[in-house]
Amino acid sequence: MGPQLGGPAWSTVAFSNRPCVDRHEFEKTKEADMATGTIKKVVADRGFGFITAEDGKDYFFHRDGLERSLDFDRLVGGEKVSFEIESSPRGPRAAKVQAA
C-alpha cells in the first residue's frame, strides 16, 4: 500500500525539475516581448491596417488582432500601440495590439 495523501511521504516530495517563475517576472518577460509602434494606416472598409514599429519595420494587423483597449472603428492613424509579432503564411504580422 502506498503513502496516503497528507502523510509525511508527500510533504517531502520536491519538484526541483520544474522552474519556479515569479508572476511578476513572468509579466516583465511578457512585456519585454511586446514591440511598440504607431498606427500608420487603417483600411477601415477592409478591416486591417499597418503599424510602423520603433525599429522602422511595418507590420500588418487585422481588426481581430486588437485587444479591448482599442476600437478598430475609431482608429485614424497616429495612435501609439504595443503588440506581439507572430508569423503568418504571408510573413510577420502584429497580434494582441493594444494601446500603449
Q: Could you list the residue range(s) of the whole structural domain that residue 99 is in?
A: 35-100
Of 94, 48, 97, the C-alpha closest to 69 is: 97
- Domain tally for the chain? 1
Give the CATH number for residue 64: 2.40.50.140
- For the record, the C-alpha cell of 64 comes out as 481581430
CA angle at 100 for the pair 95 and 62, rounded to the nearest 5° = 25
Note whether residue 3 is domain-resident. Answer: no
pLDDT along the chain (100 residues), means of 10: 55 54 48 85 97 96 95 96 95 96
- Confirm whether 85 is domain-assigned: yes
Q: Are 96 and 65 in contact (CB under 8 A)?
A: yes
| 49 belongs to a structural domain | yes
Query: Has residue 18 been placed in a domain?
Result: no
Predicted local distance difference test score (pLDDT) of residue 11: 52
* In the block, residue with C-alpha cell 502523510: 7
Q: Is 53 domain-assigned?
A: yes
Domain membership flag for residue 87: yes
Residue 51 forms part of a structural domain:
yes
The reported pLDDT for the residue numbered 97 is 98
